[in-house]
Amino acid sequence: MRTTRPKEAPMQRTTTPTCRRCWRPLSSARSIATGYGPTCLRKVKAAAEAHAQTSGHKPAQVAKATELIEQGAVIPLRARRVFQVVASDGLTTYKTAPQACTCPAGRRGEHLCYHRIAAQILIAA
pLDDT for 13-71, tens place per residue?
Answer: 668 899 888 889 999 998 888 888 999 989 988 888 888 888 778 888 888 888 888 88
pLDDT confidence tier of residue 10, bands split at 50, 70 and 90 = low
- The pTM of this model reads 0.75
Query: What pLDDT does residue 80 have?
Result: 74
Query: What pLDDT does residue 35 have?
Result: 86
DSSP assignment letter at 102: -
**Residue 46 DSSP SS3:** helix
Burial of 5 (C-beta count, 10 Å sphere; 0-12/13-18/19+): exposed
pLDDT for 73-101, tens place per residue?
Answer: 888 887 778 999 988 888 899 999 988 89
Instruction: Check residues 100 and 4 and name the one with the higher pLDDT.
Output: 100
Contacts of 84-92 with C-beta under 8 Å, sequence gap 24+, read: 85/115, 85/118, 85/119
Print burial letters for 76-100: b (CB count within 10 Å at least 16), e (below 16): beeeeeebebbeeeeeeebbbbbeb
pLDDT for 99-120, tens place per residue?
Answer: 889 988 888 887 788 899 898 8
